[in-house]
């Protein structure tokens, strides 16, 4: 599904050069649930951003469905992100001014789709995460767990093949974290490939594969 070949990524500031990811080879198969673990600053999130095409590698190549995307232009990458990936962030990143339903609809705005169809799919996604009754609320009217479920609904509304979750339970208490984890497992069971960054060993053990990262390299 997604293949990283000898991928490296270096961040440069005026004074410092940081090698965040070093010659990583990784293959995420269709239908897998991959947990990425490692200490803070080891490059997990960078790796996730590279997989999700939010960032471009300094060296190496990335293939999605066997197609190298290294030379893709901004417009092509945006289209691929829209059709293939769904993102879940630790801080939810919901747009505070928009109602829940409008937040969930957001990925569909960048597809040619009638407004009615967008609304129907957003409603279905919200019902899937158990928030069908909160469509007209604003994010700040919801609990952290509910906000993350809205974020999941937003990530799945476009029926992406891959869900990328960066510490999705990091800002939630254990009960809410477990609820979110259950939803992700359910989505994976329905066929969605999931790649998740986590610090939680217990959560990681519930996935199908654990990838450990240390100093920008895969260690297991």
Partner 1 sequence: MLRNYLVTAWKVFMRRKLFTTINLLCIVLTLVVLMVVTSLLETAFRPSGVEGRSERFLQIVMMRMDSPDGSSVSTTPLGYKLIDKFLKPMPGVERVAAATLPSGAAVYQGERVSEMQMRRVDADYWKILDFRLLAGRLPTAADDAAGRMIAILNAATAKRLFPGAPAAAVGQHIDINGQNFEVAGVVEDAMHVNAFADVWAPISTFASSDYRNQLTGMFTTLILAESSADLPRIRRQVEAIAREVVHEDPKKWKTTRFWADSKLDLFARLTVGNDDTIDSGAGKLLAMIVAAMLVFMLLPALNLVNLNTGRIMDRRVEIGVRKAFGATSAQLAIQLVVENVLLCLAGGLIALAATAGLLAWLEHIQLIDYMRYDLNLAVFGWGMLIATVFGLLSGVLPAWKMSRLDPVHALKGAL
Pick 55 or 204: Cβ nearer partner 1: 55
Q: Is 12 in the site for partner 1 (CB under 8 A)?
A: no
Q: Which is nearer to partner 1, 97 or 205 (CB)?
A: 97
Closest distance to partner 1 from the beta carbon of 120 (Å) = 16
Give the interface size with partner 1 as a residue count (CB under 8 A): 28
Determine contact, residues 46/18, Cβ cutoff 8 Å: no
Q: Which two tokens stand for residue 162?
A: 């891959």
Near partner 1 in 137-156, by CB under 8 A: 154
Q: How far apart are CA 75 and CA 42, in angstroms?
A: 30
Buried b (16+ CB within 10 A) or exposed e, 68-86: ebeebeeeeeeebbbebbb
For partner 1, which stretch binds (CB under 8 A), given 24-32, 36-44, 51-59, 199-207?
51-59
Say which residues have a Cβ less than 8 Å from residue 134's Cβ, sequence separation at least 6.
Answer: 100, 126, 141, 142, 146, 150
Residue 125 contacts by C-beta under 8 Å, 6 or more apart in sequence? 104, 153, 154, 156, 157
By rule CB under 8 A, what string of x and - marks binding of each residue 84-113 to partner 1?
--xx-x---x-xxxx---x---xx-xxx--
Phi, psi at 96, each rounded to 5°: -65, -30
Q: Residue 115 Cβ, how far from partner 1 at the closest point, in Å?
A: 7
Examine residue 54 and tell whether it contacts partner 1 (CB under 8 A): yes
List interacting residues with partner 1 (CB under 8 A): 49, 52, 54-55, 74-75, 78-79, 81-83, 86-87, 89, 93, 95-98, 102, 106-107, 109-111, 115, 154, 158
């Amino acid at each position: 599904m997604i293949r990283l070949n000898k991928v490296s990524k270096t961040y440069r500031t005026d004074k410092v050069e940081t090698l965040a990811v070093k010659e990583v080879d990784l293959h995420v198969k269709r239908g897998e649930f991959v947990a990425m673990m490692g200490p803070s600053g080891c490059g997990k999130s960078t790796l996730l951003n590279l997989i999700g095409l939010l960032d471009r590698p300094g060296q190496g190549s990335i293939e999605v469905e066997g197609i190298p995307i290294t030379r893709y232009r901004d417009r092509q990458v945006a289209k691929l992100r829209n059709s293939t990936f769904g993102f879940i962030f630790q801080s939810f990143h919901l747009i505070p001014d928009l109602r829940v339903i409008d937040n969930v609809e957001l990925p569909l705005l960048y597809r040619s789709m009638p407004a009615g169809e967008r609304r129907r799919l957003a409603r279905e996604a919200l019902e899937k995460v158990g928030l069908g009754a909160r469509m007209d609320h604003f994010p700040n009217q919801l609990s952290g767990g509910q906000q993350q479920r809205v974020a999941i609904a937003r990530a799945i509304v476009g029926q992406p093949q891959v869900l990328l979750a960066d510490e999705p339970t990091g800002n939630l208490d254990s009960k809410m974290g477990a609820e979110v984890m259950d939803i992700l497992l359910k989505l994976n069971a329905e066929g969605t490939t999931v790649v998740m960054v986590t610090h939680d060993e217990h959560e990681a053990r519930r996935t199908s594969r654990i990838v450990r990262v240390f100093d920008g390299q895969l260690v297991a």
